[in-house]
């Protein structure tokens, strides 16, 4: 987790400036904007600015693209009958031949 939010090779508590800024802005959006605004009103304001359904769709889309972009584990590839090595996907015949050579 530290590699996502901290400077490489720096002190473990030294955050990446862009992450620090995003964190501060996000937290500020959840706090009351004035002394007359309550915490509940601040949360309502944040909820109106960032509705749940579109956020959920963006997260699901991100996860779908992440899933599609990552090469499947070897055993999952074997189960599907297709093998990919170093980004090169073998044809079905090549995959079968490779699995036969491996005794699978």
Q: Is the backbone of residue 69 left (phi > 0), alpha (psi -120 to 50) or beta?
A: alpha
**pLDDT recorded at residue 13:** 76
Q: Cβ(89)–Cβ(82) under 8 Å? A: yes
42-96: pLDDT as tens digits: 999 999 998 999 999 999 999 998 888 777 777 777 777 777 777 677 777 887 7
Judged against a pLDDT cut of 70, whether residue 3 lies above it is answered with: no
Q: How far apart are CA 51 and CA 53, in angstroms?
A: 6
Say whether pTM exceeds 0.75.
Answer: no
């Amino acid at each position: 987790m530290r590699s996502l939010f901290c400077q490489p090779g720096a002190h473990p508590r030294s955050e990446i400036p862009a992450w620090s800024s995003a964190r501060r802005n996000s937290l500020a959006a959840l706090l009351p904007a004035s002394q007359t605004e309550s915490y509940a009103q601040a949360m309502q304001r944040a909820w109106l600015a960032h509705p749940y359904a579109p956020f959920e769709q963006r997260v699901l889309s991100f996860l779908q693209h992440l899933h599609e972009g990552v090469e499947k584990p070897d055993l999952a590839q074997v189960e599907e009958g297709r093998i990919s090595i170093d980004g090169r996907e073998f044809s079905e015949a090549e995959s079968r031949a490779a699995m036969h050579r491996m005794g699978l």
